[in-house]
Structure formats: C-alpha cells, structure tokens
C-alpha cells in the first residue's frame, strides 16, 4: 500500500458573543463536531478550499483573515495521516440553509460547550486549534504561497 497524505483545511470562526462556528456531522457511523473543514480538491487554491468548505458545511460566507497553523493528525480509526491547514476567519453572511451531505447542522457554541462535547469532537485538533487561536497565534495569509491567488 502506498502512503498518501491527505491535505485538509479548517477554519476557526468566533462571533462577537464569543461563540465558535461548529459543524455537527456524521462520520464513521458516529455523530461528531468539528470546525468547518474538509479536503482540498485537485487544482484548488488553499484559501478557496477554506471558503468553499465553510459555505458547504455551514451556509456562511467566511473570509479568511489569518493562518493559524499546520496540524498533523493520524486518525486511529483508519490510520490516515491528515495535514490540516487551519485558518482564522470572519463570518460575513449566512446565505443558505442547504448543507453538504453528511452535515446535520451548523452551531454557534461557546468554548465551554465545545469542551463538554468530549469524545464527540471529531479529533483533538478541534480544541487544540481553538486554544492556539485564544493564545493569539496568528500568521499573515501570505505565508501560504499559492500561485493561483
């Protein structure tokens, strides 16, 4: 078997009330919670993937403002290694209630609410990225050298 890394994007979005945009979804027969996130498609710019995934999963137009970091995670359920390009974004407008297949709902949750979800979080990266965001970690978007943008 050939090892193939999986490139994904995610976005941490906090509203003016201190709540975070989260996605409730079905994954591997379970209902889990995650930031808006997903795979980068072939020939897709990273920032375009962030906007697309957020819109498809939440119905919100999201504007990426900062790069938060690159996170690596090997999922114990399938052994796949994911490289998660995580961003900080601002919610601009909710434009649809139609959500991607497998998405149950989008929610605005406090950090306490998210912590209480425990093993219902899709991965430990959900909390880790919010903690990094709250510590003030921010990088300019131009650290992503994308020839398409």
Distance CA 119, CA 142 (A): 35
pTM of the model: 0.93
- The tens-digit pLDDT sequence of the chain (149 residues) is 677 779 999 999 999 999 999 999 998 889 999 999 999 999 999 999 999 999 999 999 999 999 999 999 988 888 889 999 999 999 999 999 999 999 999 999 999 999 999 999 999 999 999 999 999 999 999 999 876 55
Q: b/e map of 91-124 (b: 16 or more CB within 10 Å)?
A: beeeeeeebbeebeebebbebeebeebeeebbbe
Q: Look at the domain 13-138 and name its fold.
A: Nucleoside Triphosphate Pyrophosphohydrolase (3.90.79)
Which residues, other chains included, contact 56 with Cβ-Cβ below 8 Å and sequence gap of 6+? 38, 99, 100, 103
- Burial classification of residue 35, based on how many CB atoms lie within 10 Å of its CB (0-12 exposed, 13-18 middle, 19 or more buried): buried
């Amino acid at each position: 078997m050939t090892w193939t890394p999986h490139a994904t994007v995610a976005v941490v979005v906090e509203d003016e009330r201190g709540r975070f945009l989260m996605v409730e979804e079905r994954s591997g027969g379970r209902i889990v919670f995650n930031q808006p996130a997903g795979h980068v498609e072939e020939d897709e710019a990273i920032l375009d993937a962030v906007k697309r995934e957020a819109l498809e999963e939440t119905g919100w137009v999201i504007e990426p403002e900062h790069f938060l970091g690159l996170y690596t995670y090997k999922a114990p359920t399938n052994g796949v290694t994911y490289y998660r390009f995580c961003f900080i974004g601002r919610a601009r407008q909710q434009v649809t209630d139609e959500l991607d297949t497998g998405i149950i709902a989008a929610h605005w949750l406090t950090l306490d609410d998210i912590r209480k979800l425990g093993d219902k979080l899709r991965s430990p990266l959900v909390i880790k990225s919010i903690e990094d965001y709250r510590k003030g970690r921010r990088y300019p978007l131009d650290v992503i050298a994308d020839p398409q943008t």
